[in-house]
Amino acid sequence: MQARYTALFRLNQLSQECDQLANFYPQVHRTIASLMTAKNFYIALYEQTFNTLEFVYYIDEKDERPEGVFEITEFEGSFTYLVVESKQALLVTPSLRKQLIENKKIVEFGSQGTDWLGVPLMHGDEVIGVIVVQSYSESIRYTEPDLNMLTFAAQHVVSAMLRLQDQQRLKNAVDARTKELMAQIREREKSELLQESLYRISELSNDAELEINEFYAKVHNIVGQLINATNFYIAKYDADNQLLNFYYYVDEKRDARNGEFKSRKLSNHFSELVLKRKETILLSQQEMQELYRQGQTIEPDKETHSWLGVPLIYGGQILGVMVIQSYTQSTTYSKQDGELLNFVSHHVSAAIKRRELADFERRSHELLEQQVKLRTLALEEEISQRKQAEKLLKHTAAHDSLTGLPNRTVFIDLLNHAIACKKRKDEFSFAILFLDLDRFKMVNDSLGHHAGDKLLKIIAAELQALVRDKDTVARLGGDEFVILIEDLESNQEAFEISDRITEFLQQPFTIDNQLVYTGTSIGILFSDERYENANIMLRDADTAMYHAKDSGKGRYEVFDASMHKKVQNALSLESDIREAIDWNEFEPYFQPILQLADNKLKGFEALARWQSRKRGFVYPNDFIPLAEETDLILEIDLQIIEASCKKIKHWQNMFDDDSLYVSCNLFCKHFFSSSLPRDIEKILHSTGLAPQNLRIELTERALLENADVVLANMQALKRMGVKILLDDFGTGYSSLSYLHRFPIDVLKIDRSFISNVHEHENHRAIIKTIIDLATNLQMATVGEGIENLADAQLLQQMDCLYGQGYYFAKPMSALDCTSYIGSMLTN
């Protein structure tokens, strides 16, 4: 313990004893080595602004020090990268290394060691570097105490290192001030320096080999020899698009990542003030604040002490602005500085214009030379290009442009060839795997199609690695892939490949630094003598895939004949439903809703029934699920509402009772469309039914998706006067949060609680809770599925207001309902 305190004390002394950082790092190594085995040791500094990594100290038995400053992305997948990204210490043992490699979380960098221990160097919440020890021997292993010790020591390393850096910055500042004083002494030489600078700027504009960014940098350097231009930028004015483009900038406080130097539309910044006035503008912080108070500019950065901008003008045309600014009291620009910068700006403008013209002439000349060369080699090039084009066309015609896999055309040819082989050789066996990615649409919707394309490329490459060399992976389009597994010795081979693919696609993928989870549903079809062509086989494999998806996703299913029959039946039923909508075959049946206290008729629930001219009477359970799946239920619902409103209005007039209402069910997707209020209003207007005589029923599912759109639609219906009923309450999510949020008038207690409620004490408790909850929220309650007197009496005793069910009446046609209303009103 004493050695540990001595070492930590030693770390704190280093910043006073070391005169520079180069001497500091070896001392840190020696100190750490006194606490633990640190034969292999390095310190890497991370610069967050430029996202770079530099190995400032590196001692290793096997590997050389990486020289220079690197983009940190060059070390993506390394342990050092993991520590920087996570801001957490990391102890990597052989077992953890193996696990990380298998999960593709890391890649190997340098020689493989035994243990690797690294901790971040933290300054506040920011990582400024990493300190690492590692071993290549089984005899040297690191433990959690080593990790804790190194983490603790890293805090003292940071403190000492920051003090040294501050000392270095102070020394630099002193040196800079010294140079500034020397510059003042040489004031009499400024005229000569100015002439030399202008001459150098002129030379730069004539150097055609100089890159444009280097040109601006050299202009900055020349200006900086005349005036303190530590913070400097040149922005060019795009008159056609009214844009200000920052072509060159160097700044102590700001960078492009904060949006400071992004191209922008002309606004009320200080640079635009220079463009507008076309004159030199010199401002102090106070003057900048005054312009802001007058509404002429944006609010200035409080760190800016002095600001000087000049227009870049050539031949009366404004090209842009050149700006210098100071963040310290030590540098305050004067009118003389403004005159000097303005004088220089004329030469800079001319140089920029000459440079643009030179670049244009150079590009024109290069283009002309290229055209001459192309013209000279035209015949030879045409032949070569024709061959390349033919080769490319053949490849493009046969392969998917995104993944490079064979496309549908090639796969069909290969599959037809396999079918032909099967007919020639009975013992030849093959299989098709038809894959569809699960949750792929969610990836596109949340991360964009670019991320979806990346995921497809990764999966395509991995699928090729998971199958045998003689098998073929193809992409049909979208997120659908097919695999031809030829020359099977047994069906088990196809199952094993399917298992490998399913297991692989259950793992998360990293796309644009985001974990993405997908999966696959696979349809398997084995070769059979009855198949004559590839399209039929693909169809059946596709059918098997959809059965796998319907059975829960992330699995595979083998095709059998019953699947095809089921698909054919569904297609036939869907076609008949579409015709039934066109022929208005759907009609409402009405089930009475009574007031439990006195059995008085209050209204009806309208239920969709289908009397088909082809199929006869079709039960709701046989057509509603498919209608919902195909969204045909949306048209059916609106037809039922319109027919029900007409009937209720007719009965109101017939029996002189304006209180009768009808309650209609709406599929949840109605509430996801902003047109719902207009649709309901149109029906009420055409039928003449008052809004208060229409009630709309929806299930909890509608409240759990697109909540903002659903709420807006419910509020619009409420403003109209239509009441909202929540159907089947108690069987789903049943959250109190949406009862408070959404404007619900009535809770309908599900029939599963009410059936023989007098025999189930726990059901009575649930029903009582629902009724009390509704009462507190000023909502009414309707009990569904009442089938005997005992249930009706018990619900009435628990203060349930309304009820419906076979005990009162079954759903009935409009004709039977007319008689029923008459009998109820005369009793």
Using CA atoms, how far apart are residues 494 and 475, in angstroms rounded to an integer? 18
Per-residue pLDDT at 799: 92
Per-residue pLDDT at 803: 95
306, β-bridge pairs: 284, 326
Per-residue pLDDT at 88: 93
Asked whether the predicted pLDDT for residue 358 surpasses 80, the reply is no
Using CA atoms, how far apart are residues 647 and 128, in angstroms rounded to an integer? 76
What percent of the chain is modeled with pLDDT above 70? 88
pLDDT digits (tens, 9 = 90+) for 31-50: 888 888 999 999 999 998 88
Domains located in the chain, CATH noted? 2-169 (3.30.450.40), 188-362 (3.30.450.40), 399-559 (3.30.70.270), 574-826 (3.20.20.450)
Per-residue pLDDT at 5: 63
Predicted TM-score of the model (pTM)? 0.44
* Closest among 24, 27, 70 to 47, alpha carbons compared: 70
* Closest among 545, 613, 554, 608 to 579, alpha carbons compared: 613
Using CA atoms, how far apart are residues 751 and 785, in angstroms rounded to an integer? 5
Measured in residues, the chain has a length of: 827
The burial of 161, by beta-carbon neighbours within 10 Å (0-12 exposed, 13-18 middle, 19 or more buried), is given as: buried
pLDDT digits (tens, 9 = 90+) for 723-760: 999 987 766 555 566 777 889 999 998 887 887 666 76
Beta strands 746-749; 126-134: pairing state: unpaired
Asked whether the predicted pLDDT for residue 713 surpasses 90, the reply is yes
* Closest among 209, 216, 229 to 348, alpha carbons compared: 216
Using CA atoms, how far apart are residues 420 and 414, in angstroms rounded to an integer? 10
Are 474 and 412 a contacting pair, CB within 8 Å? no
Dihedral pair phi/psi, residue 605, rounded to 5°: -100, 130
Asked whether the predicted pLDDT for residue 456 surpasses 70, the reply is yes
Please count the other Cβ atoms lying within 10 Å of the Cβ belonging to residue 519. 16
Using CA atoms, how far apart are residues 407 and 481, in angstroms rounded to an integer? 9
Cα separation values, 486 from 481, 483, 492, 542, 545, Å: 16, 9, 13, 18, 19
Asked whether the predicted pLDDT for residue 171 surpasses 70, the reply is yes
Q: Which helix (H) or strand (E) holds 84?
A: helix 79-86
Dihedral pair phi/psi, residue 768, rounded to 5°: -60, -40
Per-residue pLDDT at 364: 74
Can you read off the two tokens belonging to residue 115?
């243990």
Per-residue pLDDT at 393: 54
What does the DSSP 8-state code read for residue 583?
T
Are 356 and 348 a contacting pair, CB within 8 Å? no
The burial of 188, by beta-carbon neighbours within 10 Å (0-12 exposed, 13-18 middle, 19 or more buried), is given as: exposed
What percent of the chain is modeled with pLDDT above 90? 37
pLDDT digits (tens, 9 = 90+) for 593-625: 999 999 999 999 999 999 999 889 999 988 998
pLDDT tier at 553, thresholds 50, 70, 90: confident
Per-residue pLDDT at 15: 58
Residue 161 φ/ψ region, left for φ over 0, alpha for ψ in the -120 to 50 degree band, beta for the rest: alpha
Tell me the average pLDDT across 89-108: 88
Per-residue pLDDT at 584: 92
Residue 402 φ/ψ region, left for φ over 0, alpha for ψ in the -120 to 50 degree band, beta for the rest: alpha
* Closest among 680, 697, 687, 676 to 604, alpha carbons compared: 697
pLDDT tier at 445, thresholds 50, 70, 90: low
Can you read off the two tokens belonging to residue 461?
């490459």
Asked whether the predicted pLDDT for residue 660 surpasses 60, the reply is yes
What does the DSSP 8-state code read for residue 301?
P
Q: In the predicted model, what is the mean pLDDT of the chain?
A: 85
Decide which of 766 and 792 is more confident. 792
Per-residue pLDDT at 188: 53
pLDDT tier at 257, thresholds 50, 70, 90: low
Asked whether the predicted pLDDT for residue 640 surpasses 80, the reply is yes
pLDDT digits (tens, 9 = 90+) for 623-637: 998 888 888 999 999
133, β-bridge pairs: 41, 117
Out of 129-133, 160-164, 361-365, the most confident range is 129-133
pLDDT digits (tens, 9 = 90+) for 175-198: 776 676 665 655 555 666 666 766
Are 437 and 505 a contacting pair, CB within 8 Å? yes
pLDDT digits (tens, 9 = 90+) for 372-425: 677 667 666 665 666 665 555 555 666 788 888 998 888 999 999 988 898 888
* Closest among 224, 266, 268 to 248, alpha carbons compared: 224
Decide which of 510 and 117 is more confident. 117
Per-residue pLDDT at 501: 92
pLDDT digits (tens, 9 = 90+) for 1-31: 555 666 666 676 665 677 677 788 898 898 8
Can you read off the two tokens belonging to residue 123?
């300054």
Asked whether the predicted pLDDT for residue 562 surpasses 80, the reply is no
Per-residue pLDDT at 175: 72
pLDDT digits (tens, 9 = 90+) for 676-704: 999 999 999 999 999 999 999 998 877 77
pLDDT digits (tens, 9 = 90+) for 217-251: 888 888 888 888 889 999 999 888 899 988 888 88
Asked whether the predicted pLDDT for residue 142 surpasses 80, the reply is yes
